[in-house]
Amino acid sequence: MALAVLLCAALVTGLLAFATGNGWALWVVGAHGVAGLAIVLIIPWKSTVVRRGMGRSRPGRGASVLLAAMTFVALTSGFMFSTGLVLRYGPLNAMQVHVGSAVVAIAVALVHVWQRPVRPRAVDLERRNLLRAGALAGTAIAAYAGLEGAMRLLRLPGERRRDTGSHERGSFDPAAMPVVSWFDDKIPNVDGWLLTVKAGGGLRTWTIAELGEFADHVTATLDCTSGWYATQEWTGVRIDRLLGTLAGESILVTSATGYRRRYPIGDAPRLLLATGVGGNPLSPGHGAPARLVAPGRRGFWWVKWVTEISVEERPWWVQAPFPLT
């Protein structure tokens, strides 16, 4: 029962960690780490149950073994990522292995709980068990703090990770910054590129040269959920200048590839449509001729190869929490 609760806690905090750019990141990511360590701490108790179960042959053993294996992979890849000890596994990065194994583990856990049901009982909430849960949480928090301290003592790369858990890659050196897609977007052909802006019932198009007349700039950190971040000096034009009117609920920003995200209208002054980075024009991989810079938001909000910006009546939260393509 405790494992089921902890698995849910790990899932929820993991999803939240992907959605959080700043502010709460330290607490959300910390809670995720504590949930993982609590799972490790109850392995001795679970292994007694496992040993008993393995003696009998029952259906569902395959699922049990797969669940154990995937949990092991998710825990170790998470630990290796946090400490910065292993950030790649052949063609995959640490976060792909971590999230991939966790998704399989969650799916198999549902099968496992269905095959080996444990009914919640009133005694689960008795004083003794609540004290045990508290002791487990306290020990896991202490273990997390201990690991942070050990990372500092041993000078592991993890000591320098950001609140989101991301490791630094290529700050103030755009050429060294990774080129990343959320899923499978490829660099599109942007010959004859024009930006279409729809706001207040009007429509206007902008050429690259016209956008180049603006000189807004911001120093902002791109923090990709795949586990790296880079701070750069971005130049371009503030979205509120392009829109003119802010009469509407949300701003929809669309890429030449069809990739799109929707933002609250109040974000307009903070959103920059960047045409340059580090004093140079954007490279094709980083979104040329224009890409969004969304300070404080995770990388998947930083739409590249932007072709259209429109103000709409639909609230910003009417969209999937994470891009679907």
- Which residues of this protein are in contact with ligand MTE, per CB under 6 A? 177-182, 185, 222, 224, 255, 257, 259, 285-287, 299-300, 302-305
DSSP readout, 67-109?
Answer: HHHHHHHHHHHHHHHHHTS--EETTEEHHHHHHHHHHHHHHHH
Give the whole-angstrom CA distance, residue 184 versus residue 258.
Answer: 12
Applying CB under 5 A, the span of 117-125, 177-185, 212-220, 237-245 interacting with Mo ion comes to 177-185
* Contact flags string 137-176 toward Mo ion, x per CB under 5 A: ----------------------------------------
Q: Which is nearer to ligand MTE, 184 or 213 (CB)?
A: 184
- Rounded alpha-carbon distances, angstroms, from residue 20 to 6, 17, 25, 34, 207: 20, 5, 6, 17, 34
Quickly tell me which residue has 């959103």 as its tokens.
271
**With CB under 5 A as the contact rule, which of the stretches 153-161, 216-224, 240-248, 317-325 interacts with Mo ion?**
216-224
Shortest distance in whole angstroms from residue 170 CB to ligand MTE = 9
Q: Which of 299, 302, 309, 311 binds Mo ion (CB under 5 A)?
A: 299
Residue 180 or 256: which CB sits closer to Mo ion? 180
Q: Helices 127-153 and 61-83 meet at what angle, rounded to 10?
A: 40
**Residue 178 neighbours by CB under 8 Å, 6+ apart:** 169, 170, 224, 228, 230
Residue 21 or residue 36: which is nearer to ligand MTE going by CB?
21
Least distance to ligand MTE, CB of residue 268, Å? 19
Name the residue nearer to Mo ion (CB basis): 14 or 299. Answer: 299
Q: Which residue is nearest to Mo ion (CB)?
A: 224
The span from the CA of 147 to the CA of 94, in Å, is 19
SS3 16: helix
